[in-house]
Structure formats: C-alpha cells, structure tokens
Structure 1
Amino acid sequence: MFTLYQYLHCPYCVRTDMVANYSGLPHKKVLLLNDDEKTCVDLVGVKMVPILQTEDGHAMGESLDIVAKILSMAPPEKQLLPKTTADQITGFISQFSSAINHLLFPRNVMITQPEFETEGARAYFQKKKEKMLGVSFDDAFTSSDTNLKDVNTMLADMPQLPLPSARNNQLGWDDIYIFPTLRNLTMVKGLVWPAPVKLYVSEVAALCNIHLYDEQAV
C-alpha cells in the first residue's frame, strides 16, 4: 500500500488522486496542513505536494511522475487513454489563468478544507498567494464580478471536451491535464456552466471519486 500526501484544493494533487482512485489500488491519503513544511521536507527535501511514499519508505514528488508510478502498479484495464486534445484545451484555459486565480485563491480559505483548518495554515497560504496576485484576498474577492465575466466567457467558448461516457468510461491523459482546474472552479458561485462542460466535470468526478465544491461555492 502506498501513501499520498496532499491538499484537497491542489490541482496537482487532484491529478494523482484521480489516478489513485481510478486504479483501484489500495492506498492511504494524508491531508497535510498548508503550513506543514516539516513533513514535506522530511520526505522529499522541499515543501511540495503531492508526495507518494511507498511501503518501503521511498518518497517522491512531482505529480506526473507520481501518476506514472501509480500506473506502473495498476492493472492493464486501468491504464490511461493516450493524450489527444489536452494541449489545445489547457492552452485555451491558460489564457484566463489570472481571472481563475483571482477567483480561486481567496475562496480556497473561505470554504472548509482540511489543509486550512488552522489560522496559521490559512495565513501561510494567504501571504504566499496575495504576493502572487499582487492584491489582497479581500480586493480579489471584491473584484469577482470582473473575473466571473472572463471565466464565464472561457466556459462558454470551451473547446469540445472528451466525455468519459463517449469512450467506454475510461480515464485518459487528457483528463489528468484538463479536469483539475475545472473541478476547482466548482467552488465559485456565479459561474454559468454550459451543459457539456458541466457534464464533463460530473462524469470525470464520478469516474475518479473526486470531491466537487458545488455545495460549498461562494
């Protein structure tokens, strides 16, 4: 049995969680506090997640390397379909990364998540991400209307997404790259989800047993 150290909100952690759950391999999840540097440094020498630790104690970071490691242990029927449209779609989404970050970063600490259970963990995250945004979380949240407009444009113009139901409910590399950002956007109230995009998010979440934020959205 392997162990995944992760955060609930982290899109890179979502990648590894998707494959771990989909694979059916027995594993343990450890949800770290966001300001817990020591555990990460002890395991891989640097503050980062996700981290996979094998039964013999070997630990590794980098989400795509962890995905590859899990796949090396997974049965043939749980391998991922080849990547096809991921580069096109993630390239499109990346054009809206500033608006997405301004919406997501303050909301990450506004909703209940295990990595932000303590005031210290929330403050650690907020200080780091406010520096990245160049504005306070309060200001970012106040400017939600402008960023909602941009992200709603993104959702409305989204290229066609590869539905699992159209490929025998198999997970693909495309999903590993595309799904995590869209999943995190479910914590944002006021987004208008076109039916095909919402269906994609719902199908992948169900296939991989990934928590969505719809009921917590702010």
Structure 2
Amino acid sequence: MSRLYIYDHCPFCVRVQLVAHYKRVSDLEQVVLLNDDEESCRRLIGKKMVPIFEHQGVAIGESMDIARLLDDLGEPDRKIRPLQLSEAIQPWLQPVQAHSQALSFPRVTRIGMATFATESAREYFRGKKEALLGCSFEQALAETEEHKAVIERVLNELPPLTLPSEQGNTLSWNDVMNFPPLQYLTLVKDLAFPPRLRRWLQEVAEIGGVELYFDRAI
C-alpha cells in the first residue's frame, strides 16, 4: 500500500488529494500529521515539508511531482484536462497573498482539523505564521474587513473558470492549481464569492472529494 502524508489544512496537500480522488488511485492510505510533527517528515524526506508520497519503498516531496505520479498511477480513462494559461489565477492572487493569509491563518486552527488536534500543534502553527504575517492572529482578525475588501475586489476580477460540468464533469490542471488558495478563503464568514466562482468551487470540491469550509466559516 502507498501512503500520502498530509496536513489537512495544507493547500499543497489539497492539490494531490484532488488528483488522487479524481483518478481513483487504489491502495492509497492518507496519513494526517500533526502540524508540529517534524520527526516524521525528516525521517521520510530529510526536511519538514508536506505532502509526502511513499510508494514502493521510496518517499518523495513536491506537490506537483506527486500529483503527476498519482495521475500516472490512477485510472487511465480519468483524464485531467490540459493547463490553459487563460485560466491561471496566480497573477491575480499573488499580489494580495498577505491579505489572504491574514484572513485564513487565524481561522484555520479553529475549525476542528486533525492537523491541529493538540495545543502544541496549534501553537507551533501560530508561532510560524504570526512571524510571517508580522502581527498577532488577534490583530489580523481585528482587521478582517480591510482584508476582505481587498480579496473581494480581486475575486471579482478573476478570469472566468471553466466549470467541470461544462466539460463532462472532468477536472483540469487549472482546477488542481486554482482550487486550494480559493478553498482556503471559504474559511472567512460572509466573504462574497461571485456566483459562478462559488459554483466552480462546489463542483471541483465534489468531483475531487475534498471539502469547503462555508459551513464552519469564522
């Protein structure tokens, strides 16, 4: 049996989960690590990084390398549609990443994920991410409306994404790349997603076997 080691909040892990589920990869065990579990990662690949894919006695990191390997291992008739540059949303999201992180980091530890099942795991994450944000989680939460305004503007500027239902309920490599950062934003209560974008999120989540956080948004 192969193993996929993940954090259940990790956008890079969500990429490989989408591919594994969509491609119906068999004999795959998913192992959720605690966020402060450095030992398991270092034992497998020599550094703290997820996802990690252990297959036939070899462990590899790097989400897209894993995703492509899972694509090869999965059902051949479950094709992933090619990447289309016109649907790449990274040029819109990258400049506002700090706002997205300020919204998502303080919230993700509070919705019952297995990665944050212990106080030490939550504090480990807090310490790392507050250093990245340059402020406390409390301050980031207090500035929610400012960050939401920026993100909502960008969401309305994104190029239209092809719905899986418009392509025979298939996923594309754009979906694999685009879904995780937008999924993270569903943590934010009352963040306004354009209707078509919200429908795209729901379709990709269903076909890819992953969840959205609208029902637990804070």
Instruction: Decide: shared fold, TM above 0.5.
Output: yes
> 1:5 corresponds to which residue?
5
Q: In the alignment, which residue of structure 1 is the partner of 2:117?
A: 117
Aligned to 2:30: 29
Is the Cα contact below 8 Å between 2:87 and 2:159 reproduced in 1? no
Query: Which stretches of structure 1, 4 residues or longer, exceed 3 Å deviation after superposition?
Result: 85-88
Determine the C-alpha separation between the residues in 2 that align with 1:72 and 1:209.
Answer: 19
Q: What aligned pairs does 1:43-122 form with structure 2 within 5 A after superposition?
A: 43-54=44-55, 56-85=56-85, 88-122=88-122
TM-score by structure 2 length?
A: 0.96
2:43: which partner in 1?
A: 42
Secondary structure of 2:132 counterpart = helix
One-letter amino acid matched to 1:152: E
The equivalent residue for 2:185 is: 185
Give, in whole Å, the separation in 2 of the partners of 1:183 and 1:162.
Answer: 16
String of CA shifts for 1:68-91, please: whole Å, max 9, x gaps: 111121232123111003664211
Amino acid of the structure 2 residue aligned with 1:52 = F
1:131 alignment counterpart: 131
1:154 match: 154
CA RMSD of aligned residues (A): 1.2
**CA drift at 1:34:** 0.0
Change beyond 3 A, Cα 1:95–1:86: farther
Q: Distance in 2 between matches of 1:31 and 1:106?
A: 20
Question: Which residue number in structure 1 is paired with residue 210 of structure 2?
Answer: 210
Q: Is the 8 A contact 2:105 2:129 kept in 1?
A: yes
Tell me, what secondary structure is at the counterpart of 1:110?
Answer: coil
How many positions carry a matched residue from both structures?
Answer: 217
Deviations 1:159-206 (A, max 9, x none): 101210111111111011101111111111020111100000000001
Number of the residue aligned with 2:200? 200
Is the partner of 2:77 in helix, strand or coil?
Answer: helix
Alignment CA distance shift 1:86-1:102 (3 Å):
farther
Asked if the contact 1:86–1:178 (Cα under 8 Å) also holds between the matched residues in 2, the reply is no
For structure 1, list consecutive stretches of 5 or more residues without a partner in the other structure. none
CA 1:99–1:198 in 2, change beyond 3 Å: closer, same or farther?
same
Query: Structure 1: which amino acid aligns with 2:77?
Result: E
How far has the Cα of 1:7 moved from its partner? Answer: 1.0
CA contact (8 A) 1:161 1:197 kept: yes
Could you say if the C-alpha distance between residues 160 and 87 of structure 1 is closer, same or farther in structure 2, counting changes exceeding 3 Å? closer
Letter in structure 1 aligned against 2:40? T
8 Å CA contact 1:34–1:122 kept in 2: the answer is yes
The 1:124/1:61 distance shift into structure 2, 3 A limit, reads same
Cα contact 2:103–2:144 (8 A) shared by 1: yes
Letter in 1 for 2:170: Q
Q: TM (normalized to structure 1)?
A: 0.96
Runs (5+) with no aligned partner, structure 2: none
Q: Any conservation in 2 of the 1:37–1:47 contact (CA below 8 Å)?
A: yes
Q: Alpha-carbon deviations, 1:33-69, whole Å to 9, x = none?
A: 0000001111111000000011x32111000000111
